[in-house]
Amino acid sequence: INNLGKKKQVSWVNKSLMKNKPKIADIYTKEDISKIIDKEKKVAYCRCWKSQSFPFCDGSHTFHNTVTGDNVGPLVLRE
């Protein structure tokens, strides 16, 4: 049972991030994105739900892919 009283499902994609929220949705304006991209010239968003820096990719997908044989990776936006 999670924080919302829902039964845990082994098929859940998100197994640990912000489970006290009914839905995780991140909204970034063009200004927010341009600040991030200006600093790094690119930004990578996590699509594996394993990142400790979610919604940004921290490379955790590499371990996940190695252990599971999966092939997930980030969404990368470049300037």
Q: Which residues bind ligand FES (CB under 6 A)?
A: 46-48, 50-51, 57-61, 72-74
For the question of residue 23 being annotated catalytic, the response is: yes
**What's the closest the beta carbon of residue 1 comes to ligand FES, in angstroms?**
26
Nearer residue to ligand FES within complex by CB, 19 or 47: 47
Place of tokens 């994609």: 13
**What's the closest the beta carbon of residue 32 comes to ligand FES, in angstroms?**
19
Place of tokens 């690119």: 42
Place of tokens 């990719």: 57
Task: Quote the CA–CA distance of 53 and 59 in Å, as a whole number.
Answer: 10
Which residues are the active-site residues?
Answer: 23
